Chain A
Amino acid sequence: MSILKTENVVMQFGGVVAVDSLNIEVNEGEIVALIGPNGAGKTTAFNCITGVYIPTSGRVLFEDQNITGKSPDKITKLGIARTFQNIRLFKDLTVMENVLIAKHLHVNYNFLSATLRLPKALYGERQMKNECEELLERLGLTAVKNEISSSLPYGMQRHLEIARALATNPKLLLLDEPAAGMNPHETDELTAFIKTVKDDYHLTVFMIEHHMDLVMEISDRIYVLDFGQTIAKGTPDEIQNNDRVIQAYLGVQEDA
């Protein structure tokens, strides 16, 4: 069953068509990758799905519900969480606070009861903390939970971004280049990490990634974008042998 579906999504910036009639379908429980050369429109596609941009035309469906044009916070509430290509942690706050903030969307008491520490708020706060402690424990971030997030090493900041996204209790996790700037060893670690997280939290994962090792190893299906167009889709094997993909990545030799 498809959890995320885009129907002819077009995103134009003035005369530039960043994404042209994008038709993507992600099924529940899958890991789907979106690849393509720089400037292909991958992040724009993500931004259309998460509500950062409102598509020029077309529809985005999440669990058969039309979410086109909804604001990012509403879309997150429905169950889509994301990470960012250039890490966007709350830099001056601690690891714990970063994760707690992501739990705020489930809060069901108003600011007065939260401020006056009424029983409902106290209970909610304790539960929130417990859930976050557990999450950090499972993702191996307990030791640094009181550190300021910007002081963490790069790889851990990436992990924290995923932890923070998970704290919103998503059904679908969008990862925007999770392995960017990582060395092969760290990438291997991340690959295992994504697999574990996906199984533990029963997630569907849709990701943008440039590291082909990672993509080929964990993706069930792959979409390839170039200049906003979907030039190929299929299993890792099909993609690796697709002429158009090889052309897009390596260029075409004129005299060949």
Chain B
Amino acid sequence: MGNSVNASGANQKSNRMKYVRIGILLVVVLIFVFIADITVNSYVRRILNLCAIYTILGLSMNLVNGFTGLFSLGQAGFMAVGAYCVAVFTVPVESRAAMFYLVPQNPAIANLELPFVVALLLGGFVSAFFAFLIGFPVLRLKGDYLAIATLGFSEIIRIVFTNTQTITNGALGIKGIPTINRLWWTFGIAILVVIFMFLLINSTYGRAFKAIREDEIAAEAMGISLFKHKVLSFTISGFLAGIGGGLFAALLGTVDPKQFYFTLTYNFLLIIVLGGMGSISGTIISAFIVTAGLEWLRLLDEPHAIFGWNVPLFRPGLRMVVFSILLMAIVLFWSRGLMGNQELSWEYVKKVPDKVRNAFRIKSAKGGAAK
């Protein structure tokens, strides 16, 4: 009995330490954002903003694909819904007539201008509503079939937006969306989304999602309604994707349907596979690596000379070749992504030196055996 009291005391202490560490981490991140916000130039600022937005979208996709185990590829579609909500409702009324020169905007919304936050939330909710509607028929499918159905949905959304000219200005797109320049919007929301995801995944509903991922038949036999929880996960994911899309529109300042080709979804698929299906911290790390890495590798696309000799290798396209090779290497050596389904915690960090040492020990042992 005494033991268990001690154990629970130790538990409470380790819990408190955990909160302290999370608090410190949060403060460090906020200080970083604060410093970055005043020091970096507009190019880096834009990349950082994009990193934060891709974190949100990666997490939204990881919720469905990584935590609930459903193979969905509809992210670009949900993103488009959120992006268009922000675009349509935040563009200043004065500039609309000039933009909708082929077909005038529908009078019902032509004079409706909403504050950014309201439009952003609206985008999230409309997107969630779509996810809910799509989820009903589609989530009865499994595996590849679900992927194809959600992919189809995302294309349908894009085509619908191309053709509803009185609302979305069709293929011409919407320009002049008031842009977000500071880092606070994207990072603030990204931090909130990360916290939300941690709380959700560690709640009883998060466990139910994971149960469905692990074994649908067993989950159902344990009284978890598969359909209800799949729709729930899908709807929350739709909401987050809508928010991410809205921020994306406000970052770029323009939207048009071509931005939301299904290939956009593969960026997020890449992020979650690389970071680890079912890891929140993995998604964050990988969103930054992928987004910033792709920008950084741009120097490979420019001509470079060594001792006056123009190396023919450096030409447009090399960036993607190198990037793809790096990806292959990562997937080969970390087949479950950088983090697997673990989280980057203090305990995890503490184990890293051991892991490195063990890895070397195995290698040297092999070397010894070879002799």
Residues of A within 8 A of B (CB): 50, 52, 71-74, 76-77, 81-82, 84, 88-93, 97, 100-105, 107, 111, 114-117, 121, 124-125, 128, 164-165, 167-168
Given contacts A111-B200, A116-B199, A125-B203, contact A73 B223 (CB under 8 A): yes
Given contacts A90-B211, A101-B219, contact A125 B204 (CB under 8 A): yes
Q: Add 7 more A-B contacts to A73-B220, A88-B218 (CB < 8 A).
A: A89-B218, A90-B214, A101-B210, A111-B203, A115-B196, A115-B199, A164-B222
What is the distance, in angstroms, from B334's C-beta to the closest C-beta of chain A?
17
Q: Which of A92, A102, A105, A115 contacts B205 (CB 8 A)?
A: A115
In angstroms, Cα B212 to Cα A90, docked, is 9
The reply to whether the CB of B208 lies closer than 8 angstroms to some CB of chain A is yes
Contact present for A88 and B220 (CB under 8 Å): no
Contact present for A104 and B222 (CB under 8 Å): yes
Which stretch, B17-25, B43-51, B224-232, touches the partner chain A?
A: B224-232
In angstroms, Cα B214 to Cα A102, docked, is 14
In angstroms, Cα B52 to Cα A187, docked, is 56
In angstroms, Cα B225 to Cα A34, docked, is 28
The reply to whether the CB of B221 lies closer than 8 angstroms to some CB of chain A is yes
- Of A50, A89, A104, the most chain B CB neighbours within 10 A belong to A104
Q: Give every chain A residue within 8 A of B144 (Cβ-Cβ).
A: none
The reply to whether the CB of B16 lies closer than 8 angstroms to some CB of chain A is no
**Interface residues of chain B: helix, strand, loop or mixed (majority):** helix
Given contacts A97-B207, A104-B207, contact A168 B222 (CB under 8 A): yes
**Interface residues of chain A: helix, strand, loop or mixed (majority):** helix
The reply to whether the CB of B295 lies closer than 8 angstroms to some CB of chain A is no
Q: Which of B199, B214, B223 contacts A105 (CB 8 A)?
A: B223
The reply to whether the CB of B162 lies closer than 8 angstroms to some CB of chain A is no
Given contacts A71-B225, A90-B211, A117-B199, contact A100 B204 (CB under 8 A): yes
Q: Give every chain B residue within 8 A of A101 (Cβ-Cβ).
A: 207-208, 210-211, 219, 222, 224
The reply to whether the CB of B93 lies closer than 8 angstroms to some CB of chain A is no
Q: Give every chain B residue within 8 A of A93 (Cβ-Cβ).
A: 207, 210-211, 214
Q: Give every chain A residue within 8 A of B236 (Cβ-Cβ).
A: 111
Q: Give every chain A residue within 8 A of B222 (Cβ-Cβ).
A: 73, 76, 81, 101-102, 104-105, 164-165, 167-168
In angstroms, Cα B5 to Cα A217, docked, is 41
Contact present for A52 and B224 (CB under 8 Å): no
Q: Give every chain B residue within 8 A of A128 (Cβ-Cβ).
A: 204
Chosen A-B contacts, 7 in total, with CB atoms closer than 8 Å, are: A73-B221, A73-B224, A77-B223, A84-B218, A101-B210, A104-B204, A121-B203
Given contacts A111-B232, A115-B200, A116-B199, contact A50 B207 (CB under 8 A): no
Q: Which of A82, A100, A121 contacts B221 (CB 8 A)?
A: A82
Q: Give every chain B residue within 8 A of A50 (Cβ-Cβ).
A: 221
In angstroms, Cα B69 to Cα A91, docked, is 14
Q: Which of A74, A81, A90, A115 contacts B215 (CB 8 A)?
A: A90
